[in-house]
Amino acid sequence: MTFPGHGSRRPATPPRPRVTAATRYAVTMRIATWNVNSLRARLEKVEWWLGRAAPDVLLMQETKLADDDAPVLPFRMLGYELLHHGEGRWNGVAIASRVGIEDVITNFGDGPVRNSGPGAPAIGEEDVDPFDEARMVSAVCGGVRVASVYAPNGRVVDSPWYEGKLRWFARLARWLAETQDPAAPLLVGGDFNVAPADEDVWDAAAAHGGTHVSEPERAAFRALLGWGLADTWRAANPGLRRFTWWDYRAGNFQRNEGMRIDHLLASLPVVARVVAVEVDREARKGTPTPSDHAPLVVDLDEPGKAFDAGWAGSEERFAARRAARTA
């Protein structure tokens, strides 16, 4: 089955705002987010996917590049501007757009980040400051303010890295409260490293007590929604259980033992335009070596280019593989 057409339905929201010259909307817009797990290593896969899904805006995380090493020319040859905010060896976020890039913000406007690339000073285990890391970039694309974010992993509950993760979420919430308007077109997308509910985890009991599912992390995620953002996946697909991340360990992807930790959170004017939201499971397969995340895609106003997201018949296959493992 191709996307759109898997059964998604428009969320119950007020009518779409009327498009005028003043709004400067790019009508019929596809926006996606994807943790690419090294843009250098995954560039060929990303180029393939741009041709496959034809997003107007692609938010990327974990690019693991310095800005000077960002592949601006390959994206330009495919019709995209590339905005990159990186530090070198770790983290890194980017926006690829074919509907313009304006009014850029990096690191919440808090100034430059560290250099973790070649020749950088050694970073010790005790150096836990996510505000020194390249985890946020934002711009206006096609009339919508978009932000590509990469939340800290948190490693272990109650560790310094976990506390840093919660502080980073508080900074994101403060950026929204101090600089943004929930009544304006806004979309915050990326790898949040939070599964909002038990249905967003392959096995809530197995994941219990770990990062990504702890109550403080989930409360931090809910605070973003309380400010005025909506989880577009859950709004468009109530009750549908799909994941965006699967560990590389053998069989986890094939058994669908994953989490929904990548999100596209939108303000009401954007949610009102949503016609479909999908996870492209096929992009997690095959060669070249895929990321451990799959792209999450939202269509505004009208469906974008159709593609087979690879979910047809998947539940039966997952069940058979789980049964074989426990037999």
Mean pLDDT of 180-184: 98
- H or E segment and range at residue 186: strand 186-191
The rounded distance, in Å, linking the Cα atoms of 92 and 65 is: 6
Residue 88 has pLDDT above 60, yes or no: yes
The full set of domains in the chain, from first to last, is: 29-326 (3.60.10.10)
Which of 10-19, 57-66, 79-88, 271-280 is the least confident region? 10-19
Tens digit of each residue's pLDDT (9 = 90 or more) over 106-156: 999 999 998 988 877 776 655 568 989 999 999 999 999 999 999 999 999
- Weakest mean pLDDT among 1-5, 84-88, 252-256: 1-5
Task: Identify which has the larger pLDDT, 286 or 178.
Answer: 178
The pLDDT score that the predictor gives to residue 7 is: 40
Whole-angstrom Cα distance, residue 47 to residue 296?
16
**Who has greater pLDDT, 18 or 93?**
93
Under the banding of pLDDT at 50, 70 and 90, the label for residue 313 is confident
Q: Is the pLDDT of residue 192 over 70?
A: yes
Percent of the chain with pLDDT over 70: 87
Distance CA 137, CA 146 (A): 9
Q: Residue 14: pLDDT above 80?
A: no
Q: What is the pLDDT of residue 119?
A: 77
Nearest to 296 by CA among 315, 309, 287: 309
Taking a C-beta distance cutoff of 8 angstroms, is the pair 80, 94 a contact? no
> Which has more confidence, 237 or 314?
237
